């Protein structure tokens, strides 16, 4: 296939992915906004009113970047894992793999579909947070790039999960037992400076910590992690996950009988 045909195939996959979650927007876009509002009201307003300031910001302002990032992570991952597994279950993915379409186009198409949902949900949640705070963005470029790159990481992770999943129950194991703990212990609701030194060291093994703090730096200008290190960690995960996903597609692992 030539470059133009590859581009058309890529756009087709992305369009399919976007239409898929937009068709059921009540299930895919509304719940994250409601959940974010609940987090802000309960943790930010009620509990936060009794919390000291963090890095010079009110508690409600401090946790808002983490809540937005959590929505981006969960929705990017969920979109790709459910979509790719459905394609595998219906055997439509086999048609893509046996076609002249390069596997990297399939990978990028599904990933960008997940990124679209993650970024859209993140934007909706950000709008909701404006009802509770008046904070402004410190650095727009860093904020958007961290959100985009993080969405890429977890979109690829969702595809890897879908490749190995053998039934619909398998696509919920990683989100429930890995993704949720990583996000909650990723500095969304607190600064790791509050932890004992040992636990600060343990927390630095959590990749979500770098993503949340990078995003927080973009919005508030404060972070527990150096912003350069946050970008480095994210790029490393994109490279590693992307390589693994492409190898799996090339070998047809979990897909071809």
Pairs from 4-13 (Cβ < 8 Å, separation ≥ 24): 6/101, 6/102, 6/105, 9/101, 9/105, 9/109, 10/105, 10/108, 10/109, 10/112, 12/109, 13/105, 13/106, 13/109, 13/110, 13/113
Give the model confidence (pLDDT) of 91-147 as tens digits. 888 888 788 889 999 999 999 999 999 999 999 999 999 888 888 899 999 999 999
Instruction: Identify which of 219, 195, 7, 197 has the alpha carbon closest to the alpha carbon of residue 104.
Output: 7
Q: Which helix (H) or strand (E) holds 183?
A: helix 180-184
Q: Is the pLDDT of residue 210 over 80?
A: yes
Beta-carbon contacts of residue 200 (< 8 Å; ≥ 6 apart): 192, 193
Average pLDDT over residues 212-235: 96
Contact 141, 70 (CB under 8 A): no
Give the model confidence (pLDDT) of 68-97 as tens digits. 999 999 999 999 999 999 998 888 888 887
Q: What is the mean pLDDT of the chain?
A: 91
Q: Provide the residue count of the chain.
A: 257
pTM here is: 0.94
Structure token digits, residue 67:
């809540």
Structure token digits, residue 199:
């636990």
């Amino acid at each position: 296939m030539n470059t133009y045909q590859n581009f058309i195939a890529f756009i087709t996959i992305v369009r399919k992915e976007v239409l898929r979650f937009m068709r059921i927007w009540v299930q895919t876009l509304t719940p994250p906004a409601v959940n974010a509002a609940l987090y802000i009201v309960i943790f930010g307003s009620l509990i936060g009113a009794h919390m000291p300031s963090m890095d010079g910001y009110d508690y409600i302002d401090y946790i808002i970047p983490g809540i937005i990032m959590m929505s981006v992570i969960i929705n990017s991952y969920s979109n790709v894992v459910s979509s790719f597994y459905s394609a595998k279950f219906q055997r439509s993915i086999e048609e893509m793999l046996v076609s002249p379409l390069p596997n990297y186009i399939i990978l990028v198409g599904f990933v960008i579909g997940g990124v679209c949902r993650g970024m859209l949900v993140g934007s909706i949640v950000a709008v909701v947070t404006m009802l509770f705070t008046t904070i402004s963005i410190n650095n727009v470029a860093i904020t958007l790039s961290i959100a985009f790159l993080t969405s890429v990481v977890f979109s690829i992770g969702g595809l890897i999960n879908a490749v190995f999943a053998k039934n619909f129950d398998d696509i919920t194991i990683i989100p429930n037992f890995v993704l949720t703990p990583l996000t909650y212990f990723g500095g969304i609701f607190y600064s790791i400076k509050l932890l004992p030194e040992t636990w600060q060291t343990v927390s630095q093994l959590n990749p979500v910590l770098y993503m949340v703090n990078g995003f927080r730096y973009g919005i508030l200008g404060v972070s527990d992690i150096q912003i350069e290190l946050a970008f480095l960690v994210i790029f490393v995960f994109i490279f590693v996950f992307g390589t693994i996903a492409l190898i799996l597609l090339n070998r047809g692992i979990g897909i071809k009988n």
